[in-house]
Amino acid sequence: MATAVNASRPDVIGKLPQLQNMVKRDPDAYKSEFLMQLRHYESEYQLFLLQPSKESAHFGALISFLSHVAKCYPREMAEFPIQVMKLLQDNYLVLEPDLRRTLVQSLMLMRNRNLIDPITLLKLFFELFRCPDKRLRELLYKHIVSDIRQLNATSKNVKVNKALQNFLFDMLQDENEHAALKSLQVLVDLFKRKVWHDQRSVNVIATACTSKNTKLLVMSLNFFLGIDDDILEDEENQKKEKKALIEVDYHSHSKKTKKRHRDTVSALKKNKRARKRDIEFQATFPAIEMLNDPQGVAEKQFKVLKGCTERFEVKLLMMNFIGRVLGFHKLVLLPYYPLLQRYLQSHQQNVTQVLAYLVQSCHDEIPPEELLPIVKSIANNFITERCSSEVLAVGINAVREIFRRVPLVLEQEGMDVLIQDLIMYSRSRDKSSVMAARGVLNLIREIHPTLLKRKER
């Protein structure tokens, strides 16, 4: 009888895709064929270790086959994932690209079937970002983000998150640029997707703001400066969704039909889902608010800015970041203002941005005498008759904002004369200068009217 069965069974030895299909259908019936391929793999594995850089399509096909059927024979395949991971970890730089990709895809498949511990595999995948293979890095990146999202889908997986975030801290210091950049990209992506939306992630990203690698530094600064805009955009979308809640038509005064009933039920369900999302929504905070030591972060960034030899756009990013941290947390970093003062010339490239960063860093905790030289510098370089009307308006508006944020500056010596000079432009022929000067006049009336002449109060 056994002979008859064997004779009727198709010859699948050596035809791995067909054998794979047969094994999945009936694992017990094809166990002997599976064991034969497993022994074949073990002998090939030992030979491959002697020369890991050689091309071996057959070895790759064996690994792919075994990864697909691993779930059918958990006891026999217990060591297989560990072997494949070790093979990759020890030889990933010398492996032939196609074989390396096959090994990675096999591990991904087994991970998706919960045959591999996520922490061990994800740490290996982060290390594989060092490979000089762009396609592989993209494949790894997509899997890592997807897997971590899946692990946190129902509730926060604290154990996995903590282990990976600690590991990523080391990866951001990695000498390999690709590995460091991709690791940072994973962190940023998971934060934006609100998977790792916590202080630990933010403070790990903050360590890259002082990196010697310019690409890493720029990416981390853009994260902190851009995340607020992304959050505002998300909030706007949520407002639009709320407005888009369908007003349910119960067809109270029209003929009841099956289609109208379906439409009513559908609209009710949609509104219920939208309300549930609104209840579950957690308040989103800007990344800068989550910094553990904002003063330390600002001081370290300022030190990098002082010694920076990069292009001016990179310096502007750092000025913006420092200014935003100082303004948000109401911190004092006195050397920051003299540094900005060097760039306060009307002919300076991007001077309006420099003025904006100066203004956003001002708050009422700053000693007013420290800002007095800045105000005088703006007055001398922007608010004079030799300047164009656009430059004049920019200068007046900048001074007005400093007064608004730090009213004690108005009590410094010589402010009464400066205020009179500024108000004088309210009688100018240029509309932008008039508007700017009137803005100053209205502000002074509100916060320090004694600086004005009686008729102007």
Indicate the residue type of 375.
Answer: V
Q: What would the two tokens of residue 98 be?
A: 């196609």
Burial 123-150 (b: 16+ CB within 10 A, else e): bbbbbbbbbebeebbebbbebbbebbee
Q: What is the pLDDT of residue 236?
A: 54
Q: What pLDDT is attached to residue 430?
A: 80
H-helix segments, 307-367 = 312-329, 336-341, 351-361
What pLDDT score was predicted for residue 371?
93
Question: Which of these, 209, 170, 180, lies nearest to 299 by C-alpha position?
Answer: 209
User: What pLDDT, on the 0 to 100 scale, is given for residue 336?
Assistant: 96
Scored b (16 or more CB within 10 A) or e, 31-54 reads eeebeebbebbeeebeebeeebee
Output the pLDDT for position 282: 41
Query: Tell me, what's the pLDDT at 416?
Result: 84
**Length reported for the chain:** 457
Spans of the chain, pLDDT less than 50:
1-13, 228, 232, 243-246, 277-285
Please enumerate in sequence order all residues whose Cβ is within 8 A of that of 50, keeping only pairs 6 or more positions apart, or say none: none
Give me the pLDDT at residue 35, please: 93
Task: Kindly list the domain boundaries of the chain, sorted by start residue.
Answer: 1-116, 293-456
Q: What's CA 276's distance to the chain center, in Å?
A: 27
- Do 184 and 208 meet the contact criterion of CB atoms below 8 Å apart? yes
Cβ contacts of 332 within 8 Å, gap of 6 or more: 326, 365, 366, 367
CA distance 188 to 50: 40
Distance CA 14, CA 9 (A): 14
pTM of the model: 0.79
CA 236/CA 254 separation, integer angstroms: 36
Name residues whose C-beta falls within 8 Å of residue 1's C-beta, 6 or more positions apart in sequence. none
* Residue 183: per-residue pLDDT: 94
Phi, psi of 301 (to 5 degrees): -65, -40
Quick one: pLDDT at residue 286?
Answer: 78
Q: What's the confidence (pLDDT) of residue 267? A: 75
